[in-house]
Amino acid sequence: KQEVTQIPAALSVPEGENLVLNCSFTDSAIYNLQWFRQDPGKGLTSLLLIQSSQREQTSGRLNASLDKSSGRSTLYIAASQPGDSATYLCAVSRDRGSTLGRLYFGRGTQLTVWP
Amino acid sequence: ETGVTQTPRHLVMGMTNKKSLKCEQHLGHNAMYWYKQSAKKPLELMFVYSLEERVENNSVPSRFSPECPNSSHLFLHLHTLQPEDSALYLCASSQVGSNQPQHFGDGTRLSIL
């Protein structure tokens, strides 16, 4: 069974710092890896999706990398802001084409950015 | 606005009650999902409806019963729930065959008394 681990579980930093969130997965036979953001009392918002054939994806201040063979991904947040405060979830898809759409999630990293 | 709407947002019920959670997606997707998010476990898939086929997690108790009347609507019928069923229930949708992310609703916070 696929297991996804996220480190650290929680992170509190001052505004302006560059951050790295880590995700690891036990089965490297993935189809894609996704990073989501969850605000309190809300659902999940997709941030970045990396296909298994890709090494990284970028969106604004966010950059996600994927090392499929070693079962690792990192989410890099540049110049953090208080609005970045949320829980960040990593998930991997194992079924090609998302036919079954099964995502395996980590427990998340709870990020607090203070002014 | 995510394109996936869940109702109600909050639900408190006793263990002997019967209730239903509703999800509607406005994205033209052809697959819908129910997830459970509790404090003690990672977010976990419960059911998938994809192209009229239902796939379920074998660990989901029979007191949870999904219904998908069409590609835009998904229900989760609840009966004789237990206190450990208290959690955030999230609905999502996606387009099968694409490599696009799933879109999530804001969830229903369920509390069992």
List, for residues A57-72, the tens digit of each pLDDT value. 999 999 999 999 999 9
Cβ atoms of B72 and B25 closer than 8 Å: yes
Asked whether the predicted pLDDT for residue A95 surpasses 90, the reply is no
Average pLDDT over residues B48-55: 78
pLDDT at position A105 over 90: yes
Half-sphere exposure of A20 (CA within 13 A, CB side): 5
**Beta strands per DSSP E along A1-115:** 4-7, 10-14, 19-25, 32-38, 44-51, 56-59, 62-67, 72-77, 86-93, 103-105, 109-114
**Nearest in space to A15 (alpha carbons), one of A79, A60, A111:** A79
For chain B, what percent of residues have pLDDT higher than 90?
65
Q: Does residue A99 register a pLDDT over 80?
A: no
| Per-residue pLDDT at B16 | 85
Mean pLDDT in residue range B6-25: 94
Q: Is B84 helix (H, G, I), strand (E, B) or coil?
A: helix
Q: Lowest-confidence range among A21-30, A35-44, B20-29, B55-64?
A: B55-64
Mutate to test the interface with A, among B51, B90, B102, B108 (most CBs of A within 10 A): B102
Q: Given an 8 Å threshold on Cβ–Cβ distance, is B50 in contact with A101?
A: yes
Answer yes or no: do A103 and B102 touch at CB < 8 A. yes
pLDDT at A34 over 80: yes
B101 contacts A46? CB cut-off 8 A = yes
Percent of chain B with pLDDT over 70: 98
A71–B contact, CB cutoff 8 A? no
When pLDDT is averaged across residues B68-93 and rounded to a whole number, the result is 94
What pLDDT was estimated at residue A98? 47
Which candidate, B104, B91, B72, places its Cα nearest to that of B34? B91
Q: For residue B2, is pLDDT > 50?
A: yes
Mean predicted lDDT score pLDDT of chain B:
90
Tell me: pLDDT of A29 over 90. Answer: no
Chain A residue numbers with beta carbons less than 8 Å from the beta carbon of B23 are: none
Which among A69, A66, A74 is positioned nearest to A27, based on CA atoms?
A69
Q: Do A102 and B45 touch (CB under 8 A)?
A: yes
Percent of chain A surpassing pLDDT 70: 94
Chain B residues with beta carbon closer than 8 angstroms to that of A49: 99-101
